[in-house]
Amino acid sequence: MKAHTQTFKDNLIKLGKELDAKVTYTIDGTETILDGESLSSVNPHYEGAILKSVMKQVDITSDVDIPVGTVINVQFGMKYEDEPYEYVDYGNYVVKESKYQEDTRKYYLLCDDKMLYAMKEYEPVEVTYPVTVRDYLSAICTSISVTFGSASDTFTHYDETIPAELYDNTYTYRDVLDEIAEVTASTICINKDDELEVRYINKKTGSGGVEGLPSDYVALEYIESNGTPYINTQVNNSNSIDYEVEFAFTQFGSAQRVFGSSMNSYGSSFGVNSSGNLLINHMNRSVTFSQLELEQKYNFKKEGQYFYLDGNRVYTGASGVISGTNKMGLFCSIKYGPEYYAHAKVYSVKIYDGTTLIRDMVPCKNASDIVGMYDVVNQTFYASNNTGTFIEGDEVVTIDEIDENYIKDTRAEFGEKYGPINSIVLSRSAESDNVYLRDEDSVAENGLCEIKIVDNQIMNDNTRDRFLQGILDRLDGLEYYTNDFESIGITYLDLCDYYNVKIFDNVYPCLMLNDEVEIGDGLNEIIYTEMPSQTVTDYTKADKTDRRINQAYLMVDKQNQRIDAVVSTQEDFQDSLSQLSVTVDGIQSKVELNYDFVRETSGNNYISVADIQQGGIVEFKITGTAISEGLLKLHITNNDPEYIELPISTLLKQGDVADELSIEAVYNEDTKLYEMHVFIDKKLDYINNQIVTRTSSNNFLLDNDTDILQTESNDDLLLEDYVEGKQDLGIINLPLQEGEHTFSIDGFTGLDYYLKYAVLNNITSEFALKKHIVSEINQSPEQIGISAEKIKLEGYTTINNGFSVDLQGNMTCNNATINGTINSNNGTIAGWNMTAEGLTNGAVKIMNNGGTTIYTIADIIILRGHINGTTGFEIPSILQSRYDLNGDGVLDLKDLVLLQNILKINIE
Amino acid sequence: MLINKNSFKIDGVSFAPYLEKVKFGRHKIWHKDAGRNNLSGTYTGSLVGTFPKFTLSFGPLTQAQLEYITPYLEKAEQSINYYSNKLKRQNTLACYSGDYEYENQNTLDNLDENEPFEISFIARTKE
């Protein structure tokens, strides 16, 4: 709300008000003020919205040209009769364009506020990431040369961090400010002091509706003293002084005075004694009454000799002459100085001299945020006269009201009510990935009214739900009527002001978002607020949080030009993830599964498992006080062997019992097997750092079993320690078949068993604690890579037109180099026919039983040797037919000639 | 009002010798926003200001007198110095003037005079 007086508002509807406008600017150090003599019209206007940045503009028609780029200040003035003009400040603007109009011979100036500086391409701001939203906004202000007016404000999410640069030159600074407005649940604008401001809906008038309080003061419900600050009202006490004070005590325990002076017979004050009883001091007499309640608001009034509490006369004081110069204090009484400081709240003070009101003091804070009381009679602000500051009560909220006298009959439309807002939705991925927070009570009572924020880069990570509460806190319950009305000129309402329009008996709460003021031949103002675009989210497909597990989202990273789609689930022993990443360089898809086969179980006396892998023990502990010395046998049912002897501990003496027996599996890299290491824990007794064994109440046996220590009183010498008592009993062979087993140590009851083991599964038949399966497809402009445990191609498949596999699995290719095995029992190879029995080529055969019809030189030598009788051995009858080539039943030269003809070799 | 023979001047020249009377008007000029145009039907509006209007009635003038004053009446803008009842002092305002017509029933010379005539001067700015 622009600073103005109530008189200004009252004069707006008076007949005969006179108007003025001022445009002030400085060029080369010379200030120029254009007034109504030079200005034909001044039209400030803007179109705003919540969760957006807003730029205000003004159009001016002037006899005088103002250079483009000049910063001007615009004020509207009004007076009635002989009063001086009162101006409201419309802030500063930059002349963006100047056009000379020949018809009117005037200049038409188009001016924007300094939001204009944000209408340029974004460049990365100079900050160190991560950076808070407030510091980031400050850096943006530096970049666009605008002062950051909210640099010390704790606006919504001011301390949330932005992890890295999120924007590039496809954005303007204004775009970024829009997104920050969403993050901060605010409207970002330039205020009258040319500062960028994070603005919230303003429901109060500056003065809280208190007549006479300057508009730049903020009325408070009360001010509170903690016993130090006080106010000297500068009123001399006398018989004619009466007063009325509204107050509440916040602490008892000492004598306190709320108001008055205390100069013996000249004094008149009131407060409480140390017990909290009302105390009236008057004419050197102190009278106490019933105890007051802490934090209870009371009204105390003095009229002459009579004193009233909440309207009831409680005391009639002595008559007499009060004279002197002692002042009357507030939050104390004043004697030579202040005394009896009060721990109290004061809501109002009125002081009368006879029937004349000489002080009417209201709690407030001034334009410098100093808390005190303002005397509207003398227009004087009273701050504390002591060290310390008053504690401020709540600001007095009064909603400004415009009645029918301000509304023209040409246009007065008040439509449907928007709100109350009760749901915030953060949306991305073409509005398919939504998280929300709702005020369920309000939704049930009023129906749903949501605000959907789409694709905000700052609220785009997977913990974006952390922003929901802050935004909802700001906007929850906001409601207003859409409107479109023409007024006689209200002029003091500012962007985001919340006000009521009262037309006879109807009251319409409204929010100032769009404004067009025409100051020229008269005054006119068009105000309108449209219905925001309504969204209805399918909440059955939205979530209240971004799931840390079981996620399904599509994330668009405009800064890095990347889209990620992720679907993941996490179950007890299985994680699944499918991910698609799209960048300008390529597409990567990955599907992975992580199995965890490790299980735990425990039991007393024994432990059973139904589905352990072969050799699947990872950790096995037996705990109890009943483990004694000697041979221990681990009994494993349904196993071979069924009993396994455990190594004997030297820690356990006759009669000792162990505290814990553990069998720990240690993976051996060389053998690729788990080795079973047996450990035993035993509380050991120490005396003078020597391990001892108690043999009787005062006798201890040293570890070497020889010396006996005797103590008269051993308690102070006896120490116990677990760590030193752990003994590695070595490695045992613990063969374990897969399946169902029960583990126990026979002969010992009451033992606790714990087993961590690898469970049988249908993922792998090999021993495994975990299994990671992943398939990936990586596509770049140059290539596609496919990686998976199994790749399945169905259908007629070709590669480079030279390789194909048909639907029946028949492969055709031009060439093949095969380094491994070829298995076939059909077809041809190198002119040979392949059969299940071997290779044949006409009469020539190579059979897989060793038989062949292929001859070599060795056959010539064997046959000739046989004919010549020089081989020294008979050709076995089974080979007779091989060499009887003419089939005459005799191996002779005819056969040799035929053989040489086959081999085309003639060996003489 | 006329408080003495020199209390009304045009462009620094006292016109009292030529005048039969001066009518002082105070005209309220309203902006376009004036009217019964609010929802409550109350007459409201902005006042541009109150602008003095001086209607001068000249008596019969001789040719010489008429020739003397004519240049002052012919100008587009005149500076009128007058006594303001509101300000309670002499005041000067820039004025524009209206048409004027004079009538001769006889041939005008220094012996014969024209018929009385009027001319109005209206202040350009508020008083």
The predicted pLDDT at position A692 comes to 65
Residue B93 with chain A: CB contacts under 8 Å: none
CB atoms B43 and A407 under 8 Å: no
| Cα–Cα dist A439/A542, whole Å | 16
* Of the candidate ranges A292-301, A499-508, A830-839, the one whose mean pLDDT is the lowest: A830-839
Q: Note the Cα A707 to chain centre separation in Å.
A: 69
| Cα–Cα dist B77/A557, whole Å | 71
Q: What is the mean pLDDT of residues A808-821?
A: 91
Collapsing DSSP to helix, strand or coil, A118 comes out as helix
What is the pTM for the complete model shown?
0.62
Residue A672 banded pLDDT, cuts 50, 70, 90: low
The beta-carbon neighbor of B43 closest among A15, A19, A412 is A15
Sheet (strand A39-47) strand order = A30-34, A18-27, A71-79, A86-101, A106-112, A56-62, A39-47, A514-520, A522-529, A480-487, A407-418
| Cα–Cα dist A610/A601, whole Å | 11
The beta-carbon neighbor of B37 closest among A37, A403, A409 is A409
The predicted pLDDT at position A719 comes to 46
Among residues B33, B20, B87, the alpha carbon closest in space to that of B60 is found at B20
Whether A91 has a pLDDT exceeding 70, the answer reads: yes
Give the contacts of B45 (CB within 8 A, at least 6 positions apart). A15, A16, A522, B30, B31, B33, B34, B35
Max mean pLDDT among A319-323, A329-333, A520-524, A550-554 falls in A329-333
Summarize pLDDT for A432-488 with one digit per residue, the tens. 778 899 999 999 999 999 999 998 999 988 789 999 999 999 999 999 999 999 999
Interface test with B, best of A8, A523, A525, A526 (most B CBs within 10 A): A523
Token output for A621: 């502990």
The predicted pLDDT at position A716 comes to 47
The predicted pLDDT at position A679 comes to 73
ipTM of the complex: 0.72
| Cα–Cα dist A466/A807, whole Å | 54
Residue A523 with chain B: CB contacts under 8 Å: 31, 33, 46
Return the number of other C-beta atoms located less than 10 Å from residue A675's C-beta.
15
Whether A552 has a pLDDT exceeding 60, the answer reads: yes
Q: What is the mean pLDDT of residues A47-71?
A: 95
The beta-carbon neighbor of A16 closest among B39, B41, B47 is B47
Name residue A202's beta-bridge partners.
Answer: A497
The H-or-E segment that residue A260 falls in is strand A256-261
Summarize pLDDT for A586-627 with one digit per residue, the tens. 999 999 998 999 999 999 989 999 999 988 888 888 776 656
Interface test with A, best of B43, B47, B50, B88 (most A CBs within 10 A): B47
Whether A305 has a pLDDT exceeding 80, the answer reads: yes
Contact pairs from chain A to chain B, CB under 8 Å: 63
The predicted pLDDT at position A714 comes to 46
CB atoms A522 and B42 under 8 Å: no
Q: What is the mean pLDDT of residues A12-32?
A: 94
Q: Is the Cβ–Cβ distance between A762 and A773 less than 8 Å?
A: no
Summarize pLDDT for A681-737 with one digit per residue, the tens. 766 666 666 666 666 656 666 655 555 555 545 444 444 443 445 667 777 777 888
| Cα–Cα dist A110/A99, whole Å | 8
Q: How far is A37 from chain B (nearest CA, A)?
A: 9
Q: How far is A486 from chain B (nearest CA, A)?
A: 9
The predicted pLDDT at position A720 comes to 47
Top pLDDT among A19 and A748 is at A19
The beta-carbon neighbor of A522 closest among B31, B39, B40 is B31
Share of chain A above pLDDT 70, in %: 88
Please tell me which residue of chain A has the smallest CA distance to B47.
Answer: A16
Summarize pLDDT for A386-425 with one digit per residue, the tens. 988 999 998 887 788 999 999 998 888 998 899 899 999 9
End-to-end CA distance of chain B: 14
Q: What is the mean pLDDT of residues A65-69?
A: 95
Whether A549 has a pLDDT exceeding 60, the answer reads: no
- Those residues of chain B whose CB sits closer than 8 Å to some CB in chain A are 28, 31-34, 37-49, 125
The predicted pLDDT at position A553 comes to 75
Residue A333 banded pLDDT, cuts 50, 70, 90: very high
Angle at A427 between CA A423 and CA A433, to 5 degrees: 115
The beta-carbon neighbor of A488 closest among B33, B41, B48 is B33
Residue A235 banded pLDDT, cuts 50, 70, 90: very high
| Cα–Cα dist A741/A606, whole Å | 10
The predicted pLDDT at position A867 comes to 87
The predicted pLDDT at position A724 comes to 47
Q: How far is B12 from chain A (nearest CA, A)?
A: 25
Residue A207 banded pLDDT, cuts 50, 70, 90: low
Whether A796 has a pLDDT exceeding 80, the answer reads: yes
Strand-pair category, A195-199 with A147-148: parallel
Whether A866 has a pLDDT exceeding 70, the answer reads: yes
Collapsing DSSP to helix, strand or coil, A906 comes out as coil
CB atoms B46 and A19 under 8 Å: yes
Whether B62 has a pLDDT exceeding 70, the answer reads: yes
Top pLDDT among A324 and A242 is at A242
CB atoms B34 and A522 under 8 Å: yes
The predicted pLDDT at position A721 comes to 45
Please tell me which residue of chain B has the smallest CA distance to A412.
Answer: B39
Please tell me which residue of chain A has the smallest CA distance to B28.
Answer: A16
Among residues A38, A18, A16, the alpha carbon closest in space to that of A78 is found at A18
* Of the candidate ranges A357-366, A641-650, A791-800, the one whose mean pLDDT is the lowest: A641-650
CB atoms B34 and A405 under 8 Å: no
| Cα–Cα dist A832/A568, whole Å | 56
Collapsing DSSP to helix, strand or coil, A208 comes out as coil
Q: How far is A20 from chain B (nearest CA, A)?
A: 10
The predicted pLDDT at position A789 comes to 87
Strand-pair category, A241-249 with A343-353: antiparallel
Summarize pLDDT for B105-124 with one digit per residue, the tens. 666 565 667 788 999 999 99
If you average pLDDT over every residue of chain A, what do you get?
A: 86
Q: What is the mean pLDDT of residues A749-762?
A: 86
